[in-house]
Amino acid sequence: MRIDKDLVAASATPLVLGILADGESYGYAILKRVDELSGGRMQWTDGMLYPLLHRLERLGYVEASWGTSDVGRRRKHYAITVAGREALVERQEQWGVVADALQQVWKTAQDGLAPPPRDAEGWA
Amino acid sequence: MAPGTTAAGTAPGAPGPAPHAALEAQIDQWRGYVRRREAISAADVDEMEDHLRERVEDLRATGLDDDEAFLVAVKRMGTLDDLSREFAQEHSERLWKQLVLVGEQPTGRTRSWRELAVVLALAVATGAAVKTATTVLDEQTVALNVGLLVLPFLTAYLAWKRQVTARVVGALVVPFVVLGAVLNLYPFEPTGSTLVLAALSAPVTLWAVVGLAYVGGRWRSDPRRMDFARFTGELAVYYTLLALGGGVLLGLTAGVFSLADVDLEPYLENWILPLCVPGALVVAAWLVEAKQNVVENIAPVLTRVFTPLTLVMLLAVFVVLATAGNLAAVDRELLILMDAILVLVLCLLLYSVSARDPLAPPSFFDGLQVALVVAALAVDAVALTAMLTRIAEFGVSPNKAAALGLNLLLLVHLAWSAVLAVAFVRGRRPFADLVRWQTRYLPVYAAWAALVGVVFPPVFGFV
């Protein structure tokens, strides 16, 4: 199953912030973590992570610093800031509301979902 | 494809010493590709290169070979168009429309202003150093030390910008101190040619130190060296533009002043030129750093315009030299002129190589380039024969030895470039080989300049 790309985009910020809340990390490690967490089902275009990280840096949610990897390459590390943690809490609440609403919709729509109603086609 | 050519791009005799040489070449090419995008900065390329390498590493661990791993990793990185659009959205300040780095975004601002302040302070300091030197010292000493007066500030700016480590700072300071001692403590004959050679070679040697600062101490890296070659060319273009603009401005000011019977010239000579001409170098370096992509678009155009023109010039020179009769009688300036021509051809080659898309197939222009290099070699062969006869007749002087040495270095550089370029045009070797040869060879010139400046004077008795 592939996740719709809009959904991936919407969840990217809280995911990255959440992963960084666990401790400082860098681009490739963050992507690997996303891979693990989603069982490989959330496929990001690798390069897209970096503009996102830079946006979070610009917004002050993360702090970046250059270090070196164990083989001596330059590597940019990111750490979450206080503002980032606050933003994460806020996002968590937002996603809680969304997930809650979806749960209720799934429950009520359970019966109607199995054979899709014919007159709903026009809404697709 | 011509009959008989193999499908594989590399010749059987192509060297492959390092275990992952092909992969390294591919990554270099990828870097070059990404680097050309206006919205993606050098630091971003570094960041993504680290990512790419880790991805390749992991893919190889699953059993893919270098080639497959690289392809998958690049594919996963995303198409360059999408990527650069995304970067452009986040880093709109990098696009060419805004000329100066002081952007609108709230956080980048402090750093940009600080950089502007550092640049202006260093530019003023450069001007002040030159002004002080011209006031205190005699003309000859100033000419001898001009590199030492100007380049430390440029080096300081780049070192600051790259946030180099203490070790690199040490490596940057030592050459300046050593060369300063050599230039000022050697007992040069006042009108000797070793003095002139030392003065001419010092900026070349010091330019390598500037390069060390530019690459942030990572002098072994081929892509960084190529970046520095680009930086040098772009700096020249920017400096020329600044000089032209400044000249127009001063001309207009002087015109208005003269109408009001105020003579600008004493101020111009005593203050404006000594302060602004050196200071503009730091400003130009800053502009290159901030907006290098503007000129990156000009460099290929310039090389395309001047490659055919230079070829015509070389053919004319060849005809004139070949029909001149007794070449042993030609002026000794010829050797220096030949060096200048070879340097010109080399610069054209270097810049078209640096600006060329490494993955593009050979084109007509590449053939033209080969013709240019071959013509330069032919002209040089004629001139060199004349020179050697002259030297055999009149003996060696420091000038001749320096010019001849430089000529030989240029000859080796161009000859092997020609071999590699021909192999590339015939599809025998990747373009990356030609690029690598350029970047590997460049330090040789700095070494030769150091030799001429430091070793020649005592060898020739400081005459």
- Report phi then psi at A102, rounded to 5: -65, -45
Query: Is residue B76 less than 8 Å (CB to CB) from chain A?
Result: yes
Report yes or no on B369 lying in a domain.
Answer: yes
Report yes or no on B102 lying in a domain.
Answer: no
Give the minimum alpha-carbon distance from B164 to chain A in angstroms, rounded to a whole number.
Answer: 12
Q: Using beta carbons and an 8 Å cutoff, which residues of A are at the interface with B?
A: 26-28, 31, 45-48, 50-51, 54-55, 57-58, 60, 66, 69, 73-76
Q: A28 to chain B: nearest residue by CA?
A: B51
Provide DSSP, B234-247: HHHHHHHHHHHHHH
Q: B55 to chain A: nearest residue by CA?
A: A28
How high is the pLDDT of residue B101? 36
What span, in angstroms and rounded, lies between the C-alpha atoms of B310 and B203?
26
B447 C-beta neighbours (distance < 10 Å), count: 12
**A-contacting residues in B 7-46 (Cβ below 8 Å):** 43-44, 46
Q: B196: which residues sit within 8 A by CB, 6+ positions away?
A: B399
Nearest to A73 among B50, B106, B108 (CB): B50
How high is the pLDDT of residue A2? 74
Check if the beta carbon of residue A20 is closer than 8 Å to that of residue A84.
yes
* Rg for chain A, CA atoms, rounded: 18
Query: Is residue B103 less than 8 Å (CB to CB) from chain A?
Result: no
Report yes or no on B417 lying in a domain.
Answer: yes
Contact B50 A28 (CB under 8 A): yes
Report yes or no on B6 lying in a domain.
Answer: no
Tens digit of each residue's pLDDT (9 = 90 or more) over B374-425: 999 988 888 777 778 777 777 778 888 888 888 889 989 999 999 999 988 8
C-alpha distances (whole Å) from A48 to each of A4, B58, B202, B326 are 16, 19, 46, 67
H or E stretch including A79?
strand A74-80
Contact A28 B54 (CB under 8 A): yes
Residues B39 and B175 both lie in one domain: no
Residues B159 and B216 both lie in one domain: yes
Contact A58 B43 (CB under 8 A): no
Give the minimum alpha-carbon distance from B48 to chain A in angstroms, rounded to a whole number.
Answer: 7
Provide DSSP, B284-339: HHHHHHHHHHHHHTHHHHHHHHHHHHHHHHHHHHHHHHHTSS-GGGS-THHHHHHH
A15 C-beta neighbours (distance < 10 Å), count: 20
Placement of tokens 């995303």 in the chain: B78
pLDDT, one tens digit for every residue, chain A (124 residues): 677 878 888 889 999 999 999 999 998 999 999 989 988 888 788 888 998 998 888 788 888 888 888 888 889 999 998 989 999 999 999 999 999 999 999 888 776 655 555 554 444 4
Q: In what order do the strands lie in the sheet with A25-26?
A: A25-26, A74-80, A62-68
Tens digit of each residue's pLDDT (9 = 90 or more) over B13-51: 444 445 678 888 888 888 888 887 777 888 888 889 999
Q: If 0-12 CB within 10 Å is exposed, 13-18 middle and 19+ buried, where does residue B103 land? A: middle
Q: What is the mean pLDDT of chain B?
A: 83
Out of A84-98, B74-88, B150-164, B198-212, pick the least confident.
Answer: B74-88
* Rg for chain B, CA atoms, rounded: 25
Give the residue-averaged pLDDT of B84-108.
Answer: 52
Contact A58 B51 (CB under 8 A): no
How high is the pLDDT of residue B436? 87
Domain limit, last residue, from B94, B126, B146? B94
Q: How does residue B325 score in pLDDT terms, banded at 50, 70 and 90?
A: low
Report yes or no on B456 lying in a domain.
Answer: no
**A-contacting residues in B 130-189 (Cβ below 8 Å):** 163
Check if the beta carbon of residue B194 is closer than 8 Å to that of residue B398.
yes
Taking contacts as CB-CB distances below 8 angstroms, the residues of chain A near B103 are none
Q: How does residue B296 score in pLDDT terms, banded at 50, 70 and 90?
A: low
Residues B310 and B282 both lie in one domain: no
Residues B422 and B408 both lie in one domain: yes
Residues B416 and B308 both lie in one domain: yes
Contact B78 A26 (CB under 8 A): no
Strand-pairing partners, residue B66, are none
Looking at residue A2, what DSSP letter applies?
P
Placement of tokens 């004629």 in the chain: B382
How high is the pLDDT of residue B9? 40
C-alpha distances (whole Å) from A24 to each of A27, A77, A78, A124, B200 are 11, 7, 6, 43, 51
Residues B316 and B400 both lie in one domain: yes
Report yes or no on B205 lying in a domain.
Answer: yes
Report yes or no on B287 lying in a domain.
Answer: yes
Residues B42 and B142 both lie in one domain: no
Nearest to A28 among B55, B78, B105 (CB): B55
Placement of tokens 């830079």 in the chain: A54
Give the residue-averaged pLDDT of B225-230.
Answer: 84
Domain coordinates in residue numbering, chain A:
5-109
What span, in angstroms and rounded, lies between the C-alpha atoms of B147 and B149?
5
Residues B275 and B346 both lie in one domain: no
Tens digit of each residue's pLDDT (9 = 90 or more) over A87-105: 999 999 999 999 999 999 9
Count the domains in chain B.
3
Residues B85 and B30 both lie in one domain: yes
Q: A60 to chain B: nearest residue by CA?
A: B107
Nearest to A47 among B78, B108, B163 (CB): B78
Check if the beta carbon of residue B342 is closer than 8 Å to that of residue B407.
yes
Torsion angle defined by CA atoms of residues B39, B435, B433 and B318, in that order, rounded to the nearest 10 degrees = 140
ipTM (interface predicted TM): 0.81
Residues B400 and B303 both lie in one domain: yes
| Higher per-residue pLDDT: A1 or B364 | B364
Q: A29 to chain B: nearest residue by CA?
A: B51
Give the residue-averaged pLDDT of B275-291.
Answer: 88
Residues B39 and B155 both lie in one domain: no
Taking contacts as CB-CB distances below 8 angstroms, the residues of chain B near A63 are none
The residue segments making up the domain with residue B383 are 297-429
According to the CATH classification, is domain A5-109 in 1.10.10.10? Answer: yes
Could you tell me which of B210, B209, B186, B203 has the C-alpha nearest to residue B456?
B186
How high is the pLDDT of residue B4? 40
What span, in angstroms and rounded, lies between the C-alpha atoms of A36 and A42?
9
Residues B126 and B253 both lie in one domain: yes
